[in-house]
Amino acid sequence: MILCATGGVMASGANDTTGSRAIAVQTLRILAACALSTGGAWAIGLKEGYWALITAIVVLQPALADTVAASRNRVIGTVIGAAAGLIVLFGIQHGLPRVWLFWGALVPLAALTAARPSLRLCCVTLVIIVLLPATDAPFVRAFDRIFAILLGVAASIVVAIPK
């Protein structure tokens, strides 16, 4: 027995051309979304354009509805985390201690993630914006991240639309 692309099991020697075709099509869609998101990030000069590529890989699903749902969750989580991160950065700019601000923002985001696991990217975005060293002005990373996520989402939705 072998596992087929749809998750079922079929007998050895059976013909799985439908499953093989689905895998090939999804592979090409992933690569197309990667190319679109990478090219777009390069064209608009994003400093951390790899987030567009990562987003394209993460949100693209075989069905358009699933891609849209994953995209929605990624965007909402990213925007929430970026907003919290901007508030923390603003506080840091005004002399408040980073560690207390970070944890003060992380606790409610962790509670949100516990209640709505699909929004877990809010915590990830907060960590990236607040804890990773910025190469530009501290506020730039939050907006670059949002643009990169939107770019990756757009690329994924474009290639997920049935032709």
Banded pLDDT at 138 (limits 50, 70, 90): confident
Q: How many structural domains is the chain composed of?
A: 1
The pLDDT assigned to 111 comes to 98
Residue 63: give the domain boundaries: 2-160
CA angle 85/88/90 to nearest 5° reads: 110
Banded pLDDT at 16 (limits 50, 70, 90): low
